[in-house]
Every structure is written in structure tokens, then in C-alpha cells.
Structure 1
Amino acid sequence: MMSVLLSLSLFALVICHKGSAQLLDDKCEKGFDLNEFKTPWMATVYNQNEFICAGTLVHRLFVLTAASCMTERSQLFVRLGEYDCARSHCNNVEQYGVAMAIQHRDYNPYTATNNIGLLKLRGEVVYTARIHPICIVLLNDISSWPIKSFRAFGWSQRQTLQAVVLSHRSPVECYQNGKMMHDIDKQICAGNFEANTCLENSGGPLASDLDFFGEKLTVQFGIVSNASELCNSASLHTDVTAYRNWIYNTVRKLETQGDRVLCEECSSNWTEDVFVRLWEVSLFQSTFTGVLITNRFVVTVASAFVTGYTPVKVETKYHERLDVESIHKHPQFKYSAGSTKNDIALLKLAQIVPNSDLVKPICIVLNPKTPRTLTALVDVVTEDFMGVRYVNLNPIDHSACSQKIEEPVEPSQFCVEKPSDFVYESPGSILGSFHNVSGTDKYLLFGIKSFDKRGVIVYTNIQRYADWLVDTVNCD
């Protein structure tokens, strides 16, 4: 009798706590039909400007994909809200840098076992009708075995989202098709009957609708391991349900880690209410500016050096001159008249700049998303006022910016309309935003001015180069 009561109590406990305790993210996809082809959880993963893989948003900070997509980990970024870029021009796409790429520690590229990984984003995703996560069910009772068919999702070469219906097959059929299941409990054998229907990339989901405690959920059951094999009658994929504990533990461990500041001694104020541009430097005898990001490095635009001019000194805001030891332009920097790509450079100073009340590095937090409103700190000197004025600026859509300047805008750039109420500054000047970091309000660097054209200012997005900045600063 006691065991019966205990079983009923446990059952009631599961029913009463079916929310966040049983789903990785309780705001995941509910009440939609896969046949409607609504996929607000689809993600695309890029390395620099090259598409790598598909993925799925599973949490406000994490994208799930295949471990095989992470062989090139440097400067990854993710795009969300991308459906049919050929027709919609992706006006509502949100872009996030990748703070950390986590492969399953037992991933074997030769056998494709444990082919699963998570990408931690730089900044939390704001959920909208176009962007929110797919469901990952944490209950051990839910498995892929009873699911008769899945929908696999991926991207065509025209950046159009495609879906393939896959029937759940027995391990024997995969074996007969030349696919050895090295771990039958962690892989799904599935295939389609239309040999001319294929996906062109891996990392996307095998999804199915599931009735879950009276709610209809869109649940991810698998990850496409090798999209080129989907044309076959049977192929192997990663079974997500076998990794629910790994996903849960990884997310919970990493989601609570705070913002990482590049330089702990950074500052932009003398007192709590008095902000000054302590980090600003000018390239001596040059029309370019830069900003101190550590006590040894200045970030500026690589376009400052296209004429062959090499500054041997920089000058701080309060006229202290500092020697330059070396210049590090981004290796993919390209320049053409009125346009630039990867327009960023680092100057290594010949000596460490001591902390003082007049010179301090600006703050860079390595995992925020570019905010919707940015703030320029503008020096103002009048008869009545001397100090810094705040000017709020809103980034404009990449497509609208491209139309205005009549040139493509790179994913590593963002644009604002040029303010009319003050004369804007030289290339290399910065734009940032106020954020609370570990209980303290700080002014964070988000962009450096690359060029302006037709009433628009184009900035290099600092967050897109966080890995390169860290590697250069730490290794040089």
C-alpha cells in the first residue's frame, strides 16, 4: 500500500511541476503545427562571413547544433529569425556573437558518435513572435523510439529554409544501407522516400509535435549529423533525448556565469555622476582617433593605415604622448574607396600605461548583444557648461543602411543615422552604451566609426571581433 501511495505521489509531483522543471526553457514552442512551417527556433551558424551549419535556439543563451560544426571555432556567430532571405531580405534577423563553443567531450569525428554541441551566445536573446526556442523535454520517460516520423530542417544554397520528412527506421535498415550504428541508444536511424529531396547542411533539428500534459509542443528529438546523406533511404542522426542530462547540466552551469570584462581596471567616470572620455587617444599627426582598451593596447580602424603612414606615438586626451611598439591590422581587412571590411586594428604601446585619474581603458564586456539604443559621449564646452553630453542613437536595419549608402553592409558592421545637432568625430571614434556590470554602471564599447556616407555612420561592431581582440591582447 505504501509503495502505491508513493507512486501516486511521484506521479502528482510530475504533473504539478510540468513547467520549467520538465522543459529546458518553459517559453519554448507551444501550440504550433510543424506543417505550418513556422520555425522561429531555426538558427544559422557562420564563421566570419561563411555559412557553416544550421542549429536550433533551445534557451535564451544557447543554440544546439552538431559537434562537427565546431571544427573551426574562431569568431563564430549566429543569426536568428532567418527564414527566406532570398525574398524577405532578412530585415528582422538578429545576430549574436558566440562566447563559447562546447563540443561533447566524447565526440568522435570518425564514427560520428556523440555528435552534439552547444553554442553559448554573447548576450541573452529577446523572444519575439519570430524568435523563440524549440522545446527540449527533460523527462526521462520521453524518448524518440515511439515517434514514427520527423521533420528535418536546413538551408539551401539560396538561403531558403527547407524541410524533409524522415520516417523513423530500424537500426537494421541503417546497417543494410552501410551505416553502422556505433551506439544504438544515442543515434536515430531515419530516412525519406524521395531521393531528390535533400538538405545541404548539418546541425539542424529532427522535430516532431508532441502532446505533453495537455499541451501541444514542438519538440526536438534529433540533430542532423550529415545532411548530404538525407537523400539515402536510411541515415544516422544524433538522438537528443539521450543527451538531455548533458544539455541541462551544461546550460545550467554556464548560464549563471557573469559578464567577462576585458580589462578589470576599465572606467569612464571620475565620480558616480561625472563621465569623461579618459580612454580616448589620437593618432599623433593624424586625423584618426582610437581608444585604450587595456593598459597596453589601443583599438582603432585599420583604414588609418592604408596610406602607409605608421604612427610612432599616440596622444591621450590630456596630452600625454605614448610610443607605439607594433600595429596589428585584422588579417581579413580589405579597403576600397568609401567601403571597408574588417576595419579594425590594435596598436601595442611600447610601455604599460599606469592607472591614473586622467587615463583609463574603456570597458569591453565580451558577451553582450548590441543594444537597441546606443549612446555617444560628446565633449561640450560653452560659457555655461563644460563636460560630456549624452546623445542617444538607434542602429538602423542592415538592408535600409545598404540602400542609403548604396553598398552592402557587412555582418560585422552596424549603422546609425548621422546626428544633425553636432559635428561628428574622426574615424576610430567610438559608440557605446551604459550597462550594469557586477553591480556597477559602466560605459561599454560597442562600435568604432569606420566611415560615414550619405547621412549614415557605419561602425565596426567590436563584439564580432571579441575573440580576435582577446587572442591578440593575450598572445602578443
Structure 2
Amino acid sequence: MVTLKVLLFIFVLSNNRNLFTFAQTRRCFDCVSVTSCEIALDYARMIRVGTLPNESRQVFMKAICGFDPYNRMPKVCCSDFPVVNTKTRGGIPEEDSNLSAESIENHRNVGLLPLHSCGDIDGARITGGEFAKLYEYPWMTLIAYNTTTMGQRFLCGGSIINSRYILTAAHCVILNGKFQNIAGVRIGELDYSTDTDCQGHGFNMICETKVQDIDVEEIIPHENFNELNKSAGGDIALLRLSEPIIMYNNAAPICLPLYDNLRTMSLAGLRGTVAGWGTMENNVQTTKLMKVEIPIKSRDECISSYRSPTVKTFCAGAMKKDSCSGDSGGPFMVESDFNGTIRLVQYGVVSFGKKCGDHPGVYTDVSKYMDWILDHIKE
């Protein structure tokens, strides 16, 4: 209740009589209830206690984009709020060096990631999910493993981040302290039970036969990953392919949260999409790519399901809607403003969870590992 009182205090202080008229015309991709925007709550608290200057109220007021009748609270464009560190030194917020534009946007390897042609949305708009469309998620990949009992099997997913690298989970590449026996990566697949993927009917039918199976040249798990305690963080890895991917209709990179506005955006309250070839609600393994849209939970909601989730993860899910076994390593995607264009940006990597669909799943927060990714890729 203290938080709500603080927000109401700031909200009422505005002398702008045209506030709600302005709010109704304000448009942004992350207009959510202020109670779901943790960075706005932090901002409000710091204004109230005087850590931020009084003029910062204008940032709060300009972020208002509507009204949430259920909570009877304003809605805000969550990405409008600059990150504020609640740890202070002499009353002044400490700078968070991990979010420094100097270390990310000016990184020596930033040019190795796609800055324009990534995360395209095709215009068509897993547990509790539905089948993905042909060409809808061309960055989705399957990781194949050589098993001793069942031959070669697809057991994890990943995403294309450029022509030589796949982003996945560390637990998909390490088992019992050793690298897993990865046979390769498949690119461009929709239904791996068939040689031809088709969509539509009659003269409107489109079919695709082109897939790429590429060997892995190098496995790069995060050095802090502990397979006995995935909640400790570091469940992220890169696979360097032995040859470049041929970019095609069904092979293209996903955008990563490269820019400052993406890395500092509060995710709580937003909705995103997870895709994969994992187990469905009837405990049957699907051979066709599925997708599901789910809400991102607040940190408090995540803590209620998991004792001590690291700040480098987030939770997402809804009843009977979740990532599940076999989806590991796949991307959690959110429509975002990527350098002036609305794209799908990968904010998460499927990490772990409890019983599928009963508790929110845990995702590695890619925005917290951008420096690590850039440090470990090469031409």
C-alpha cells in the first residue's frame, strides 16, 4: 500500500488539466499499469524521498498513456523510465556499469550482430500454445544430440543471432560437468517429422523443403553456470557453427536487446512469446514448432514460486501456458522498438521450471548478458 500511496501522491501533484487527453493519444508498445512497471515504482519512491530531483515528476507524467480501471491506477510507457539504482552513495544513485552504453553499444564486436535485418514480424498474428506458421520464426533452431540408446535426437532449441552463432542454454551443452555430444544444429525446420513443410490450401499452398544441418565448431557455456543450481544464473551458452548459415526465408537472426532503451526496460507486466518443439500438455512430444504468448511476472511473483531467483533471470507464464521439456534453450520474444522499428527481440532463454503450466517458467535474462555475448563472438 505504501507504493500505491506514493504513486497517487505524484499523480495528483500534476497541474496539467489535459493529462488524460494526452494519455489517450499517447502510444507505446509497453503501456502497462503502473503497478506492473517496477522501474516506475522505483522512480516514484526516489522522487518521494528526495533521491531524485523534484523535476523528475515530469518524466513520470509524460510516461502516462492511459488508465487501468481494474486497479484504478494510471498506465505508463514503462520504457520511458531511465534505470535508477536503488543503492545510493551519499544520497546519489550509484551508476550500474553493466548497463553502460559505453560497454555495450560501443563494444568492439557490436557490428557482428544484426543492427537492422533481424526479428522481422511476418504480420500473422508448448503448453497451451498453438502451431507456429511457416516462416514465422526463422531464427528457431533445433540442437541434435548423439545418444547411446536412441541414436540422434533433438533435445534442445536455440536461436540464430548471426550467421555463425546460436544462442541457447548452458544446461543444453553441459551434462555432468562435460560437454554434451552435440551432433549439430538444424536451421529452417518447422515439422521435423516431414521432409516438406507446407501451409495453406490449393493454389494458396506454400511449401518449403530447404533445411540446413550444420556441425558445431565450438561450444561456449557461461563460466558461472552451475548445473546443480541453475537458479544461480549463468544458464546461457553460444554455439559457433562450422560454416555460415545461408540466410533465407526460413533462416534469419533474432534481434537482441542491444540498445540502451531495450536493456533498461522493465519487463514485468509485458507479454511475450516462447516457441519450441517441447512437450505438450498431454505429455506428448511434438514434432512441429509451437508457440505460446504468456505474461512476464514481477520479481515478487517469481520469488513466491522460487526461493531465490537471481536478478539475471525473470519468470513468465500463465495457468496451463508455459514452456516445457524440450523447449530448453529456446527464445522468449517480446515485440519492442528496435532502433525505431517494431521487431521481435529475444529477452529470455528457456532455463528451468516446475511442473509445466502450474508455475511460471524461469528464463535467463539476455539483457544482463549482452556484454558476455559480445565478448565471446568473433568473425
| TM bracket, shorter-chain basis | 0.5 to 0.7
Aligned to 1:173: 301
Aligned to 1:205: 331
2:253 matches 1:163: no
Query: 1:108 offset after TM fit, Å?
Result: 1.5
SS of the residue corresponding to residue 246 of structure 1 reads helix
2:120 matches 1:30: yes
Query: 1:103 offset after TM fit, Å?
Result: 0.4
- Contact 1:201-1:227 within 8 A present in 2 as well: no
Aligned to 1:415: none
Query: 1:146 offset after TM fit, Å?
Result: 3.6
1:301-344 Cα deviation digits (max 9, x unpaired) = xxxxxxxxxxxxxxxxxxxxxxxxxxxxxxxxxxxxxxxxxxxx
Aligned to 2:249: 129
Query: 1:243 offset after TM fit, Å?
Result: 0.3
Instruction: State percent identity of aligned pairs.
Output: 27
SS of the residue corresponding to residue 142 of structure 1 reads helix
Aligned to 2:93: none
Aligned to 1:41: 139
SS of the residue corresponding to residue 125 of structure 1 reads coil
- Contact 2:322-2:361 within 8 A present in 1 as well: no
Note the 1:4-23 alignment, pairs <5 A. Answer: 21=110
Indicate the structure whose relative CO is greater, using CA pairs within 8 Å and at least 6 residues apart. 2
2:347 matches 1:215: no
- Contact 2:274-2:323 within 8 A present in 1 as well: no
C-alpha RMSD of the superposition? 2.8
Query: 1:21 offset after TM fit, Å?
Result: 4.8
Query: 1:176 offset after TM fit, Å?
Result: 1.7
What is the CA–CA distance in structure 2 between the aligned matches of 1:196 and 1:74, rounded to whole Å?
28
Query: 1:93 offset after TM fit, Å?
Result: 1.3
2:231 matches 1:142: no
Match of 2:212 among 91, 94, 97: 94
SS of the residue corresponding to residue 135 of structure 1 reads coil
Change (3 A) 1:180 1:24: farther
Stretch moving more, 135-144 or 166-175:
135-144
SS of the residue corresponding to residue 231 of structure 1 reads coil
1:426-460 Cα deviation digits (max 9, x unpaired) = xxxxxxxxxxxxxxxxxxxxxxxxxxxxxxxxxxx
Change (3 A) 1:107 1:217: same
Aligned to 2:189: 82
Change (3 A) 1:61 1:228: farther
Query: 1:34 offset after TM fit, Å?
Result: 7.2
What is the CA–CA distance in structure 2 between the aligned matches of 1:146 and 1:65, rounded to whole Å?
20
2:208 matches 1:110: no
Aligned to 1:236: 362
Change (3 A) 1:121 1:105: same
Query: 1:29 offset after TM fit, Å?
Result: 2.4
User: What letter corresponds to residue 183 of structure 2 in structure 1?
Assistant: L
SS of the residue corresponding to residue 247 of structure 2 reads coil
Change (3 A) 1:225 1:34: farther
1:251-289 Cα deviation digits (max 9, x unpaired) = 1xxx33xxxxxxxxxxxxxxxxxxxxxxxxxxxxxxxxx
- Contact 1:190-1:234 within 8 A present in 2 as well: yes
- Contact 1:153-1:204 within 8 A present in 2 as well: yes
Note the 1:4-403 alignment, pairs <5 A. Answer: 21=110, 24-26=113-115, 27-33=117-123, 35=125, 37=133, 38-48=136-146, 49-70=152-173, 71=175, 72-86=179-193, 89=196, 91-112=209-230, 113-143=233-263, 145-146=266-267, 148-156=270-278, 157-177=285-305, 179-183=306-310, 185-194=311-320, 198=324, 200-226=326-352, 229-251=355-377, 255-256=378-379
What is the CA–CA distance in structure 1 between the aligned matches of 2:223 and 2:298, rounded to whole Å?
27
Moved over 6 A (4+): none
List alignment gaps of at least 5 residues for structure 1.
Answer: 1-12, 257-476
SS of the residue corresponding to residue 128 of structure 1 reads coil
Note the 1:428-447 alignment, pairs <5 A. Answer: none
What is the CA–CA distance in structure 2 between the aligned matches of 1:57 and 1:205, rounded to whole Å?
10
User: What letter corresponds to residue 201 of structure 1 in structure 2?
Assistant: D
SS of the residue corresponding to residue 274 of structure 2 reads strand
SS of the residue corresponding to residue 220 of structure 1 reads strand
1:49-103 Cα deviation digits (max 9, x unpaired) = 1222011011100000000001343343000001123455463211000011110
What is the CA–CA distance in structure 1 between the aligned matches of 2:229 and 2:194, rounded to whole Å?
39
Stretch moving more, 26-35 or 202-211:
26-35
What is the CA–CA distance in structure 2 between the aligned matches of 1:174 and 1:228, rounded to whole Å?
12
User: What letter corresponds to residue 29 of structure 1 in structure 2?
Assistant: G
Aligned to 2:84: none
Query: 1:30 offset after TM fit, Å?
Result: 2.7
1:210-259 Cα deviation digits (max 9, x unpaired) = 122321211100001026644123232100010011111111xxx33xxx
Point out the structure with the larger strand share.
1
Change (3 A) 1:224 1:34: farther
Point out the structure with the larger helix share.
2
Q: How many residues align?
A: 235
List alignment gaps of at least 5 residues for structure 2.
Answer: 1-101, 126-131, 147-151, 198-208, 279-284
- Contact 1:107-1:114 within 8 A present in 2 as well: yes
TM-score, length-scaled by structure 2: 0.56
What is the CA–CA distance in structure 1 between the aligned matches of 2:324 and 2:357, rounded to whole Å?
5
User: What letter corresponds to residue 211 of structure 1 in structure 2?
Assistant: D
Query: 1:201 offset after TM fit, Å?
Result: 2.9
What is the CA–CA distance in structure 2 between the aligned matches of 1:108 and 1:244, rounded to whole Å?
20
User: What letter corresponds to residue 53 of structure 1 in structure 2?
Assistant: C
